[in-house]
Structures are given as C-alpha cells and as structure tokens.
Structure 1
Amino acid sequence: MGEELEVEKLKAVKVLGKGAMGSVFMVEHKNSHVAVKVVDKTRDAAGGERGRWEMKVLTRLSHPFLPTLLGSFESDTLMGWAIPYCPGGDLNVLRYRQTDHVFSPAVIRFYAAEIICALRHLHSIGIAYRDLKPENVLIQQSGHLTLTDFDLSRTLTPKTIPNPTPKTDYINNVTGPHARPRRNFLCKSRTKPNATPKCARVSPVTRRKPSFCFDGERSNSFVGTEEYVAPEVVRGDGHEFAVDWWALGVLTYEMLYGTTPFKGKNRKETFRNVLLKPPEFVGGRRTALTDLIERLLQKDPTARLGYARGATEIMEHEFFRGLRWDLLTEVMRPPFIPSRDDDVVPSAAGLDIRAYFRTSKSPPSLPPSPTSVQFHKSPSLPEF
C-alpha cells in the first residue's frame, strides 16, 4: 500500500498536470522527486471513490512499464497518492518535438512493444485500461515507458474461448445491425500537449444489440477519450479487453502520421467516423506497420487482432518479427532519454498543497511543467 504521507509536509515543486479528477504535482520527498496526484473531495463527489479505485489498482501492479504506489494520504477534504516521477513528460510532447511530429517505424516498434507488454500485464490480472492515449504514456528517466492514470480502468472477468482460431478476414469493417437510442455518457476529450483535459457529457448516440458472443464479463459504461474510443463502446454493445487493442491501433497510427485516423470536425462526426470510416494510409503502399494498424482497427471486436489470444496475437505479428520481448527491459539506450532535471525549483520555493486548493485553481506562484522537455537521442536503436 506504500507509506502513509502527511499532506502538511508535502511541498509541491511544480504542477505536472491538471485534469477533471485532480491535479498532479512534482513533490520533493526523501531527497528525490515523486509525482503526487491530489483530488479535492469537496469539488467532486465521486473523486474520493475514483481515487480509492485508482490506488487499489496501483497496489496490484508489478511491472517495469507500469507505476507503483509509493504512498498516500487522505483528509476530510483532500486525498492523494504518490507514484514515481517520470521526467521525460508524455509521448504526445515527445512526438511534437520530432521532425514533422511523427516517429520512425523503428521508434514506433519500440514504444508499441513496451505498451503491449504493459497492457498484457494489466489484462492478465483482469484489468481493462480503457484510456490509452499518448498523454497517458510517460517517459521514465531511463527512456522506457510507463502507463499512468487508471481512474477509468475496470476489472473484468477474462473470456474463455475453446480452441481459439485467429480471424483471417481483417478487411471488412462490421458495424452491427439495428440501432436504438441510448443514454448520455461520459467521455474525455483529446488535448494538445500540456493542455488541460476536459470531461464532457455528450449527445445521445445509437446503441446496437450485441453482435458478438462473449462469455466473460463486459462493461456497458461509456468511458475514454473520444478519438480513441472503440466502435463497440460508441454503439453501447458492451465491451471488454479488445478496446485497449483498438486504442493501441489509434495511437500507433498517430505515431506514424501525426494525427488520429477518425478525428472529425466535432464529436458527432468523430463518432460517425469511428463507426463507419476505414483508416486511410498515406501513399497506398502496404507495409507490416500499416497491416498491424489495420488489424487493430477492425470495427468488429471479434475480428480485431488481440481478441482471441490477447497480446500474444499482436506480439506474433510480422511488424515485431525478430524482436526479443524478454530483453526489452534491458535496452540501455531507448530512442530518447530525458536529460537530468538539474534546474528544478527547490521545495522551499514551492507551495503547500492544501493552500493550492484553498486559494485558487492555478496559482501564479507555482509554475506549470514546461513543454520544452529536453531529450538525448540515441544514435540508433539497438537490436533486442
């Protein structure tokens, strides 16, 4: 569970992020820096419940590409928890620093592989992540990745499929039969680098009867970031772990082209594209990478790569041929390594966290985390 922290002794060095659920601070603790996420329970009735859920998830994680719970606190008004600080910022900030705002296939291969490993661990303990996006993929000091923000995750019972046979028809995009009205739902909107995430109630969309068989547990809640939401979530069919593989397809497409494949002029058009529009690949030349993306972005979850045998199916794809999955954690020179944060403001110049929530939402005395994160680029990716 981590140690018990004393909020009155925590001095924030700077704000790392601010979202609908709470604010994240860099805090100096025991001569090192940690990230502390704090929820104001007086402003969000569900904040305490969601915060306890996220801490519960963190206590179950044991993986090099996932965070661990270092400590926590709770008072009448605030609750918070500490996880390791990642000085490299998030994958979205790093992508914007690249030429043309895209990564090379070799870099995509490395990052996608580490994300697959993290999701495989989550799924193995029955947790569907449900909020994969570049802003939730952080870069550790070592240059390796870690996923963060588990407030939308959900425990699901894994499905059992006797003698699973991988789907071979990855071309047809199945959207399901008849539609019917459904209720409003909760969705996160997409943000630019270091922008404040927003939650919004969106307009009702159609809901379809389940078009696939599933003998495990499904969730019928609508959660996620709109550009990454899977078709079965938009339709309200009920969903399971395959939504994470859809989001991986969207994220991989974005790393390759610098934009998400289904973004429309507004939320309604985005959802229509998610349901009906096939992903477009620039140039028309098919590669192992575009094939991987296309197989992950199947509208029908039962045809989606990863549905039948989970991460194993994806790891066996041609794009990852020759990759030594067991040596990923031993790669000493990842594509980009953040420089040491030597100019961090001392904690004495920081702010009491309780005062931060009492006085204002964004006090000028506490500078936000800069977007100009410095990275050292490896000359070439090592073989692994």
Structure 2
Amino acid sequence: MDIDLDRARALRVLGRGAMGTVFLVADGPSAASRPYRYALKAFDKRSAKPDADRRARWEINVLSRLAHPHLPSLLGFTETDDLLAWAVPYCSGGDLNELRYSLPDRIFSPAAIRFYIAEIVSAIAELHAAGFVYRDLKPENVLLRADGHVILTDFDLSRLLHHGPTSASSSPPPPSHRGHNRRARVAARSDSLVGQAKSRPPQPWSAAPSPRQQLQNLVRYLMGSDGALAKKTKSARVSPVSRKPGSFGSSGAGAWGKSYSFVGTEEYVAPEMVRGEGHGFAVDWWAVGVLVYEMAYGRTPFKGQNRKETFRNVLHKELEFPGDSRRRTPELADLVSRLLERDPRRRLGYAGGADEIREHPFFAGVAWDMLTEVSRPPYIPPPSDEGLAAGEGFDVRDHFRNLHQPPPPKGASDASSDFSSEF
C-alpha cells in the first residue's frame, strides 16, 4: 500500500540510525481512537550519507520479498522530493539486547536460549532459501513482538547470493518448516578505501587499486600496526566495502555464491570476512554462534580493547567457556563450538544449511514446524498503552523540516534568557 503522510501521525521517535529515523505512527481516518499503528522508517534525502539512498531502497526491495512469521513484511512505502519512507510492523516488546540487560545476571537460561535461537534459525533459513545472506545478526536486531515471539530487522547489509557448490548456502527448509543502540552503527572507514556501498552498481576502477588490492589494504590497515582505529572501543558496524564487481542485487558476489564485501558488526564478523577470502551464507551461522555465547555467558567471545584486537581475536583467540559451563550445559557448549568453527567448510550449517542446526542435540524436542503455535515465549512484554487522542501526534514531514530550520537569532535567544533570569 502507499503510505498517506497526510493521515499518518507520529506518536514518538523509536530510534535513529544510519538509515534514517524510525517513528511509531498511527494511521486512521482521524488518527485517533487507537488507530492502526506501525513503525515508519523515514530517510531524509537532504542530510543522507553517501550511498544511503541505495541502501534504503535495497532494504525496501528485500522487505517486499519476505513473508515469514519471524521476518518483517513491507506494509507500504511513499516517496517525496525530500523523504523516502517505508512501513513495517511495530514490535512493542523492545529488542533482545534490552531484554538481556533487564535480567538479574544478564544471561538467559538454556530453555530461553533454545526458544529464541530456534526462531532466529527459522528466520535465517527462510532468508537463505530466498538467496539472501543477512550479515547483521546481533541482539539489537532481534525485536520482540507483543506476543513475545521474535522478528529480525534491518536488511540494508544483506546481499543476494547465488547458491552454488562452494557457497555455504543454507538448504531450503522442508515445507513443514516454513511459516505463513548499545553498539553504535557507525562506519569504520579509511577515506581512501571505503568508497562503494553494497548496493552500488559496479564502477570503473581505472587508475584506482583493484578490488582485491583494496581488500588487502583494508585488512592490513585494520590488523596492522596503524592505531588510527584503536580508540573506538564500542562494537560498531563496518562499512560496506565491495571488493569484487557485481550487479546491484548481488554486488560483490562471485559465480560461486561468495561476496567480497566487508560489513557487519565487529564482534559478530566471521573470520573469513576478516581474512578477505570471500564469504557465503555460513557467516550468518557464525553470528548465531556469537549470539548464543553472549546470551549464555553475558559477553561476546572475541571482543577486544579496540577493533584491531577484536579482529585479531576473531582470527586467533581460542574459544573459552566460563567456569564449568561445558560440564553443566554440554549440548549448548557443543553447539557454540561447532558454530564458531573458523573454517567455514567445517562450520555447522555449511553443508546442510539450517537442517544441520535443527538436528543438533541442543534443540531436541523443538517442534520446528509449529514454533509460533506450540512454543510459549519465556517473556511476554507488558501491554503497550500508547494511545493517540484526536489532534495529538506530529507530522513526520514537519519533524524533518524543523531539523533544517536555521537556529534562532542569537540576540533573541539572549534576550529571552535574560528575561527569564529576572524572575
């Protein structure tokens, strides 16, 4: 459907990021009496970062192809001279990161991990079956619906890959398996190296370094002695850097289903991506392993003091389990170990896709074909009470117009301040 910005009234801002601002929006004849609500992602063309427009349109393209209980669907979109906006279902339960930090020990029980990871695996399996590698799994991107089930979000770093014999693709699930800002998202970049977003059409390189040379330079820059990035201690998204020409939908993807982009969130980036050897669908299963570890032990396994150290740990640090956790939860520890296999060809999920993960002993007893029907979520969000009375709310377009208004004259501001101080 087309989004009618004349009828839509924003209740509040849900978040801001590299891809724009997300609003909780009410839409109805008068936008009152608790009308239909959804999340509206609005991209301001006037203040956009380079290539953000292409990434936003790519996300809309991906969303338009999704139909799964644990993936968002595109409810509609609209475009004006200044804005590009698209609507997705509103998830009122927050995200998995917020939920973890609300727990006393900031860790989940094995039963809760089994529930959430089963639904995440189901969502990733659907993406892989459609040819998309996700590449941005982290707790902040796992949203909770009002009923406690999960929804993955943010697909601007995804890529369309060709399934092939060496692509580490996930096998499509059988019919019974189908269903009907702790980390700043900032770019780690060198101006001379980061120039091509993941959705940009191939560009002529002429005198510029070859894509593979760019890759080698970037890896040396991140892993070498240069300390320019060492001050950034937060886990951050890394920029989409394409190292191999390709089409818009599969930019950076080779004939064997590999991408040569360097993207993701640093604590979840797979070793083959850091090494620059090309990656396939198996990077998502590595990220699942990192997420399971974080949910179980309260931290990610390879985080260093800075980005350079984190990447070194991803490549070389031995996987450690706290205390006697291996003995207490052997199936969980084995699942993590097999997902965090540095050689993607030996990683759980590489050969048999999601089916290999479903068959792991940790998931014994999971009714994969009825996840949303018979699995009770371990946490049910409290009812959301965000009504909207007639005349309340604000216009999304006005929100962005106000951002571009010049500041008030300094004299007027000073006079107002002096006047109020007298009283």
Q: TM-score, normalised by structure 2?
A: 0.73
Matches within 5 A, 1:153-232: 153-160=158-165, 191-192=181-182, 197-201=185-189, 204-206=218-220, 216-232=256-272
Q: Which of these residues, 384, 387, 390, is aligned with residue 341 of structure 1? A: 384
Q: Which amino acid aligns with 1:219?
A: S
Distance in 2, matches of 1:254 and 1:347, equals 44
Q: Which of these residues, 85, 106, 121, is aligned with residue 116 of structure 1? A: 121
Distance 1:35 1:347, change over 3 A: farther
Q: Does the 8 A contact of 2:166 with 2:257 survive in 1?
A: no
Distance 1:345 1:279, change over 3 A: farther
- Runs of at least 5 residues in structure 1 that lack an aligned partner in the other structure: 165-190, 209-213, 362-384
Q: Please say if 1:134 is aligned against 2:139.
A: yes
Distance in 2, matches of 1:17 and 1:34, equals 14
Q: Which amino acid aligns with 2:153?
A: T
SS of the residue corresponding to residue 101 of structure 1 reads coil
Q: Does the 8 A contact of 2:58 with 2:156 survive in 1?
A: yes
Q: Which amino acid aligns with 1:357?
A: F
**Residue of structure 2 equivalent to 1:321:** 364
Q: Tell me how many residue pairs correspond in the alignment.
A: 326
**Residue of structure 2 equivalent to 1:32:** 36
**Residue of structure 2 equivalent to 1:54:** 59
Query: 64-73 or 152-161: which moved more?
Result: 152-161
Larger fraction in strand? 1
| Deviations 1:292-330, CA, capped at 9 Å, x for gaps | 011101111111100011101111111011211112110
Q: Does the 8 A contact of 1:161 with 1:308 survive in 2?
A: no
Matches within 5 A, 1:1-384: 3-30=1-28, 31-44=35-48, 45-160=50-165, 191-192=181-182, 197-201=185-189, 204-206=218-220, 216-284=256-324, 285-286=326-327, 287-331=330-374, 333-344=376-387, 346=389, 348-360=391-403
Q: Does the 8 A contact of 1:27 with 1:347 survive in 2?
A: no
| Deviations 1:148-181, CA, capped at 9 Å, x for gaps | 110000000112379x9xxxxxxxxxxxxxxxxx
Q: Which amino acid aligns with 1:200?
A: A
CA shift at 1:12, angstroms? 1.1
Query: 242-251 or 284-293: which moved more?
Result: 284-293
Q: TM-score, normalised by structure 1?
A: 0.80
Distance in 1, matches of 2:184 and 2:115, equals 28
Q: Does the 8 A contact of 1:11 with 1:348 survive in 2?
A: no
CA shift at 1:9, angstroms? 3.2
CA shift at 1:29, angstroms? 1.8
Q: Does the 8 A contact of 1:18 with 1:197 survive in 2?
A: no
CA shift at 1:226, angstroms? 0.6
Distance 1:356 1:334, change over 3 A: same
CA shift at 1:14, angstroms? 0.9
SS of the residue corresponding to residue 11 of structure 2 reads strand
CA shift at 1:7, angstroms? 2.5
Distance in 1, matches of 2:160 and 2:25, equals 30
Q: Does the 8 A contact of 2:43 with 2:85 survive in 1?
A: yes
Distance in 2, matches of 1:138 and 1:215, equals 34
Distance in 2, matches of 1:299 and 1:215, equals 23
- Runs of at least 5 residues in structure 2 that lack an aligned partner in the other structure: 29-34, 170-180, 191-216, 224-253, 405-423
Cα RMSD over matched residues?
Answer: 2.3
Distance in 2, matches of 1:10 and 1:235, equals 46
Distance in 1, matches of 2:187 and 2:388, equals 31
Task: Select the structure of larger CA radius of gyration.
Answer: 2
